[in-house]
């Protein structure tokens, strides 16, 4: 069995050989092995009989971090709360294609009588452990099932097994203020974290969801990807503290480090009936983060040269290698040999197909070819083929940018903010003097956020049936940005796999600060709540004009999505989620009985049933009108309205994958999507590099060699042309606005000059 119950613990076994163990006491994960290599530290002196919290693994901190302080209700609770010292239940286990999952539960009835008195709230915790071949996800869901709100902290107190504490780095927390509990002071983190003594640091509101433990003395490490968890604690007891712990060996501090994701800087307030969730995904990593500063114009060149087989002069050749049957490195003329070889595909893509000129025009935000501060001070973040990050890159010229892209041959690259100085020069000033000043207002819509409602696909998979969710999101967000905020220059881009990105390039949008960006996101947000919360939409009786406009779009697409493509009202497991939104158990029961008795009833008829039964309940019990009247409308919003990744939008220095990247998993180009054609977009239609190779070869084989004056660029000979030309039309609109602004500035300067002359003559 993929999940077995052995000696008070659940053992998860993946077909790849990966495994995990979780004790029911504390729901403490005590082992995670990949390729038979343990990644989780548990002390040799750990007590495993349920009499004390387990020293090591991933203890669950809830509902208080550390020791609570009076007069807060958590003040009398045990250190780190009661979740890690309570006996949980194994609720469920499943074996899917690529993952093995176990769910554990804890509620008010399962904690000790003493703790029930100290913390008198009705709650439910669901802890999910999902094991894959080389990753493991741990997710905690908190439900307030009582009639009183409560506050809580939570933390995934993860102990990592490491080669040696003095030779690891914790990467990803640079630039974050933290509370040093050893020195009892607040400090600004600069650079990576190294362990030289006792460490007990709380990093609040971390800037990136990705944190890495890197083994300096040997390759490898562990990557943490956080969702819904904004704080990180780093802890190592070192010599003195280790000697004072009875359940910890005196020398064991060398072999462990705690990097703990949670919500501990402030309490989370959870209203009655509310839900919250947070998770971390751990993965083995060969990743190294390299930041600019060692040498002007590049990042630690000596550490990167081994990645490339060809020197720059060879890479910069621009002749078509497929014409007349010629080959490069043994490639066949139709490009079939590069299928599956993403390194070779990217090398050819950057040399022949990437639209450098229009791309530069976009980032430059000027009508002259001279690089402006918008280009010079823009952060470029390269992700190389071995998953190395090279952050804070910036370039003086288009040619320098092009040469570095071709030399590095990145798996992808992200665009960051425009700073007050060149990002490569950031090491020349204090961290406080390195300031992001502008960036496009962006939105990121990911199909995985729809997994709880879509039925045709899940995870990274998408198809034309579920893509309609993206179509609705584009229409609603685009209309709001244009009609409500007056933005004009909006670029929609396919992410290459399972989502869409929106780049709003108006100068006014680029100048928004974080608070203003948060205000826009708050204005747009409608869907709120975790996956276990039934009703996630709470709208007033009279809709704001923006939501009324959105509802027109929803009305058009709701039948297609819910009745047809997703068949949400066809199967009980799906329509039960609809019923859960209705805040009346009587109406739920009547509809359930009606639909179970008529399993072949058409989805459209079931939807009419829902509206009829709600209408009938209101007519018979007028006091329920306010509660029930708008439930059908709210269901429609919940199942079709855009689901936003707010962190991408609200933080000006957040990275986002650039347009015209090639997605390393699908091989498809991240192309622009004209908003007027969004209903016809097929996520399987953007070209792949092998396809572009074939198209280029076919074009050159059937067209005589042109003279230099009429020579086309290679992307113009392929299906990429339509996407790039749409991008160029987008840039023309921007250029007209920039040109008009410059004209007005010249006229204002001239008027000022004339006024000065008049004043002088007087």
* 445: preceding bond cis by omega (within 30 degrees): no
Helix pair 603-620, 631-640: axis angle to 10 deg: 140
Q: In sequence order, what are the beta bridge partners of 19?
A: 13, 33
Q: In sequence order, what are the beta bridge partners of 210?
A: 225
Active site residues: 379, 444, 446
CA distances from 759 to 121, 228, 747, 754, 755 (A): 76, 62, 18, 9, 6
Helix pair 398-408, 342-352: axis angle to 10 deg: 160
**What is the CB-side half-sphere exposure of residue 86 using CA atoms within 13 A?**
27
For residue 545, with 0-12 CB atoms within 10 Å meaning exposed, 13-18 middle and 19 or more buried, which class applies? exposed
Q: In sequence order, what are the beta bridge partners of 130?
A: 101, 137
Q: Which secondary-structure segment (H or E) carries 749? A: helix 720-761
Residues 443, 504: Cα–Cα separation, whole Å: 9
Is 271 strand, coil or helix? Answer: coil
* 71: preceding bond cis by omega (within 30 degrees): yes
CA distances from 54 to 30, 42, 48, 58, 557 (A): 9, 8, 6, 9, 52
Residues 318, 415: Cα–Cα separation, whole Å: 26
Q: Contact 409/452 with Cβ under 8 angstroms?
A: no
> If we measure between CA atoms, which residue out of 738, 722, 735 comes closest to residue 355?
722
CA distances from 270 to 104, 121, 275 (A): 21, 11, 7
- Here the contacts of 1-9 (C-beta below 8 Å, separation 24 or greater) are 1/95, 2/93, 2/95, 2/100, 3/93, 3/94, 3/95, 3/100, 3/101, 3/102, 5/90, 8/50
């Amino acid at each position: 069995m993929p999940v077995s119950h052995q000696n008070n613990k659940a053992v998860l076994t993946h077909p790849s050989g990966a495994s995990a163990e979780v004790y029911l006491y504390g729901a403490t994960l005590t082992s995670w092995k990949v390729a038979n290599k343990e990644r989780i530290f548990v002390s040799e002196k750990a007590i495993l009989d349920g009499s004390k919290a387990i020293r090591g693994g991933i203890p669950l901190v809830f509902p208080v971090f550390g020791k609570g302080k009076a007069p807060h209700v958590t003040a009398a609770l045990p250190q780190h709360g009661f979740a890690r010292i309570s006996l949980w239940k194994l609720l469920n286990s499943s074996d899917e294609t690529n993952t093995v999952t176990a769910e554990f539960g804890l509620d008010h009835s399962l904690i000790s009588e003493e703790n029930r008195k100290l913390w008198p709230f009705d709650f439910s915790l669901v802890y999910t452990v999902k094991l894959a071949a080389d990753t493991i996800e741990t997710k905690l869901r908190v439900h307030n099932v009582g009639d009183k709100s409560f506050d809580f902290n939570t933390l995934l107190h993860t102990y990592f097994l490491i080669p040696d504490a003095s030779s690891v780095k914790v990467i990803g927390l640079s630039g974050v203020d933290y509370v040093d509990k050893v020195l009892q002071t607040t400090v600004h983190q600069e650079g990576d974290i190294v362990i030289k003594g006792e460490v007990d640091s709380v990093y609040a509101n971390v800037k990136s969801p990705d944190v890495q433990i890197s083994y300096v003395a040997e390759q490898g490490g562990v990557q943490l990807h956080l969702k819904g968890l904004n704080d990180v604690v780093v802890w190592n007891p070192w010599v003195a503290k280790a000697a004072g712990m009875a359940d910890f060996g005196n020398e064991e501090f060398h072999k462990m480090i705690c990097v703990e994701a949670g919500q501990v800087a402030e309490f989370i307030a959870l209203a009655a009936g509310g839900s919250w969730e947070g998770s971390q995904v751990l993965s083995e990593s060969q990743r190294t983060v390299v930041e600019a500063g060692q040498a002007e114009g590049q990042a630690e060149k000596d550490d990167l040269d081994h990645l490339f087989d060809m020197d720059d002069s060879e890479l910069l050749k621009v002749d078509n290698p497929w014409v007349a049957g010629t080959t490069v490195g043994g490639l066949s003329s139709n490009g079939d040999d590069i299928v599956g070889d993403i390194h070779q595909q990217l090398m050819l893509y950057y040399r022949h197909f990437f639209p450098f000129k229009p791309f530069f025009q976009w980032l430059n935000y000027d009508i002259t070819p001279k690089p402006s501060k918008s280009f010079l001070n823009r952060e470029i973040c390269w992700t190389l083929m071995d998953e190395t990050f090279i952050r804070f890159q910036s370039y003086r010229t288009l040619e320098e940018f092009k040469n570095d892209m071709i030399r590095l041959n990145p798996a992808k690259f992200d665009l960051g903010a425009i700073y007050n100085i060149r990002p490569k020069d950031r090491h020349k000033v204090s961290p406080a003097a390195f300031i992001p000043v502008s960036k496009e207002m962006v939105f990121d819509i990911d199909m995985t956020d729809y997994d709880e409602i879509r039925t045709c696909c899940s995870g990274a998979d998408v198809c034309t049936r579920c893509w309609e969710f993206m179509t609705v999101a584009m229409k609603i967000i685009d209309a709001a940005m244009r009609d409500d905020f007056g933005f004009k220059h909006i670029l929609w881009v396919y992410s290459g796999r399972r989502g869409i990105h929106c780049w709003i390039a108006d100068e006014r949008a680029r100048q928004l600060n974080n608070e203003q960006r948060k205000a826009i996101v708050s204005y747009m947000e409608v869907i709120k709540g975790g996956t276990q919360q039934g009703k996630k939409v709470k709208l007033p009786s009279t809709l704001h004009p923006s939501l009324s406009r959105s509802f027109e779009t929803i009305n058009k697409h709701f039948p297609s999505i819910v009745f047809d493509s997703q068949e949400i009202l066809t199967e009980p497991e799906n329509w039960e989620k609809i019923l859960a939104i209705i805040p009346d158990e009587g109406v739920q029961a009547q509809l359930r009985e009606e639909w179970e008795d008529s399993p072949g009833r058409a989805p459209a008829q079931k939807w009419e049933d829902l509206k009829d039964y709600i209408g009938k309940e209101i007519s018979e019990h007028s006091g329920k009108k306010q509660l029930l009247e708008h439930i059908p409308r709210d269901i429609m919003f919940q199942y079709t309205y855009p689901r936003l990744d707010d962190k991408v939008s609200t933080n000006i220095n957040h990275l986002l994958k650039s347009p015209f990247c090639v997605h390393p998993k699908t091989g498809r180009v991240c192309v622009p999507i004209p908003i007027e054609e969004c209903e016809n977009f097929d996520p399987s239609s953007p070209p792949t590099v092998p396809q572009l190779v074939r198209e280029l070869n076919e074009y050159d084989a059937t067209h005589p060699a042109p003279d230099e004056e009429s020579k086309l660029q290679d992307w113009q000979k392929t299906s990429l042309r339509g996407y790039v030309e749409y991008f160029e039309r987008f840039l023309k609109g921007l250029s007209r606005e920039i040109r008009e602004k410059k004209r007005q500035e010249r006229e204002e300067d001239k008027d000022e000059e004339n006024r000065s002359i008049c004043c002088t003559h007087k």
